[in-house]
Amino acid sequence: MSFTTLHFFLFLAMGVLIYYLLPKKLQWVWLLVLSYLYYFTFSIKTSVFLIFTTVVTYTGGILLTRMNESSKAYLAANKETLDRAAKKAYKEKVKKNKRRVVVAMLLLCFGLLGVVKYLNFVIENIDALVLAVGHGQYFEPVNIILPLGISFYTFQSISYIIDVYQGKYSAEKNIFKYALFVSFFPQLLQGPIGRFDRLARQLYEGRSFSLKAAEFGLQRILWGCFKKMVLADRVAGFVTTVFGNYTEYGGWYNLVAVLLYCVQLYADFSGGIDIVIGTAEIFGIRMDENFRQPFFSKSIGEFWRRWHITLGTWMKDYIFYPFSLSKQMNRFGKWSKKHLGNTVGKAMPICLADLLIFFVVGIWHGAAWKYIAYGMYNGIIIAVSSLLEPLYAKGFEKTKIHKESKAWTVVQIIRTFILVNIGWYFDMAVSFSAALVMMKETFTKMSMSQFTGTAFLELGMGRRDFLIVLAGCIIIFIVSLLKERGVAVREAIAAKPLIVRWAVWYAFIVIIFIFAYTGDGSAFIYANF
């Protein structure tokens, strides 16, 4: 039941109506029922994976909290009899036991994710190695159904376990309330990746109907539908045709296809997140933002701080910091400073952490070498930029370029946009080798003769479609520019006279009804993650 179908909006209307009619103490129960009903519309069988992750991490959280509470009680009861060494030894023992629980959770949850998402990838590479060697037994691929949203709810559950382990908060004792945190239906398939301390209490608290929340939620849904239905679905055919048949095209076809893929991915993913956040807002629940005008970024690092924000902060909190601040990295940093100089040595642990992060980001995107290449492409740029930072500083001094000037800012934004679009070749191409071929042939086969005739208009988009996409991109750019300058767009519209407010939103409704793409393409890209 895709977010842009009539069935979803009827489901949402029914859900909201019953939610606000119920007593406040029962509203969270209805949200849990809605969430599982929603997931069942995709697959009842794969809900077993969702339930497994929920039960396992709930149990782990309870065990960790009990260990925390029992250790505090023991130390309090024996504070007069235990000396400092005994207390330290006891704490170390408890910490070791807690680590075992966390490791068990990681193995079970990431192990499950690894099997369903990456087993066949491993088998394919073993078979390729066997073929290269020339002898051995081949392995047959395993028929595994990939559960929708498994990456999102796995990461969300693991963050909960680590936070409980670190004592950030106590575990949720009610398994059904915890199940709602894991399965809350708007975010279940494509995020944003929620944190327990920011989301859970909102889910469990009862609330009265708010007209403002409903209006703002519907407006956000409308904005998401515009992105998805008018733009993303419209360009999907062109993108799929060129990338899927890359040997038949080149030059301008490839360049236009990668630019349209940029439009498709951003409009699809951010549009879906708009619908998610808007849906939650109708229920009075505020979710974390996942995008912040990413195409105004001045570097690849900044781009990833603005794009898929909740994944980036997850990686930073649970991989980057633990890895870069570990004892091993501390020793490596000292070695690097001694042998490579203070400046380079100081940056080396961070560079390695960045490479690790983007290797994981690549793998997270899919089980293929092209995704690993996509992640490492971004990681290498960020790591090299960190190493070259002193040279950049010297260059600014010699050239007298003012780093904060508008002209240099525009240059940085354009440079970042180009680098981001180069990365999309890896993300969308059918394989790693196909991405390299497409990059090469984008420039070696470029010719203005490709624009003659009607061949360009026979790839799923006509002149009208290109004009609609151009107009849509201009609208998104204007809204993004206003937000970048600190304008709260919805609040600004809400402050206008009634006739102006309704004129704006009715205009969007009319635009969606008239210009929404009616071909195949209602599925959201990130629902497959």
**Does residue 269 contact residue 231 with C-beta atoms inside 8 Å?**
no
Say which amino acid occupies 367: A
Q: Which domain holds residue 528?
A: 210-287+429-529
pLDDT at 47: 92
In a domain? residue 77: yes
d(CA 11, CA 282): 13
The Cα angle at residue 387 between residues 381 and 392, in degrees rounded to 5: 90
* The last residue of a domain, from among 167, 184, 208: 208
Statement to judge: residues 49 and 171 lie in one domain? yes
Q: Cβ atoms within 10 A of the Cβ of 9, count?
A: 15
The Cα angle at residue 502 between residues 468 and 493, in degrees rounded to 5: 85
Cα 38 from chain centroid (whole Å): 21
**Does residue 329 contact residue 349 with C-beta atoms inside 8 Å?**
yes
**Does residue 163 contact residue 195 with C-beta atoms inside 8 Å?**
yes
Q: Which residue has the tokens 């024996």?
A: 78
Statement to judge: residues 129 and 267 lie in one domain? no
d(CA 324, CA 305): 18
pLDDT at 356: 93
Buried b (16+ CB within 10 A) or exposed e, 385-405: bbeeeeeeeeeeeeeeeeeee
Q: CA of 127: how far to CAs of 114, 135, 265, 433, in Å? A: 18, 10, 32, 18
In a domain? residue 141: yes
d(CA 213, CA 287): 13
Buried b (16+ CB within 10 A) or exposed e, 237-250: bbbbbbbeebeebb
Helix (H, G, I), strand (E, B) or coil at 437: helix
pLDDT at 174: 96
Statement to judge: residues 223 and 117 lie in one domain? no
d(CA 416, CA 305): 13
In a domain? residue 519: yes
pLDDT in tens, the chain (529 residues): 788 888 999 999 999 999 999 999 999 999 999 999 999 998 888 899 999 999 999 999 999 999 988 888 888 888 778 788 888 888 889 899 999 999 999 999 999 999 999 998 888 888 888 877 776 667 788 888 888 889 999 999 999 999 999 989 999 999 999 999 999 999 988 889 999 999 999 999 999 999 999 999 999 999 999 999 999 999 999 999 999 999 999 899 999 999 999 999 999 999 999 999 999 999 999 999 999 999 999 999 999 999 999 999 999 999 999 998 888 888 888 888 888 888 778 888 889 999 999 999 999 998 899 999 999 999 999 999 988 888 888 888 888 788 888 889 999 999 999 999 999 999 999 999 999 999 999 999 888 888 877 778 888 888 999 999 999 999 999 999 999 999 988 888 888 888 888 888 888 888 888 888 876 556 788 876 6
d(CA 203, CA 201): 5
Statement to judge: residues 94 and 201 lie in one domain? yes
Residue pLDDT, tens place only, 300-342: 999 999 999 999 999 999 999 999 888 888 888 888 888 888 8
Statement to judge: residues 84 and 217 lie in one domain? no
Query: Could you tell me where the DSSP H helices lie in 404-497?
Result: 406-428, 432-444, 463-484, 489-494
In a domain? residue 375: no
* The last residue of a domain, from among 184, 208, 232: 208
In a domain? residue 410: no
Statement to judge: residues 35 and 106 lie in one domain? yes
Statement to judge: residues 260 and 198 lie in one domain? no
Residue pLDDT, tens place only, 385-396: 988 888 888 888
**Does residue 141 contact residue 120 with C-beta atoms inside 8 Å?**
yes
* The last residue of a domain, from among 147, 176, 208: 208
In a domain? residue 386: no
In a domain? residue 172: yes
Question: Token pair of 24, please?
Answer: 């406040």
Which residues neighbour 352 within 8 Å (Cβ) at sequence distance 6 or greater? 323, 324, 329, 332, 383
In a domain? residue 483: yes
d(CA 24, CA 26): 5
Please give, one letter per residue, the 3-state secondary structure of 440-458.
HHHHHCCCHHHHCCCHHHH
pLDDT at 519: 63
Statement to judge: residues 117 and 235 lie in one domain? no
Cα 358 from chain centroid (whole Å): 13
Helix (H, G, I), strand (E, B) or coil at 246: helix
In the chain, the number of structural domains is 2
Statement to judge: residues 276 and 231 lie in one domain? yes
Q: What are phi and psi of 307, to 5 degrees?
A: -110, 130
**What is the pTM assigned to this prediction?**
0.92
Statement to judge: residues 149 and 194 lie in one domain? yes
Statement to judge: residues 219 and 173 lie in one domain? no
Statement to judge: residues 155 and 128 lie in one domain? yes
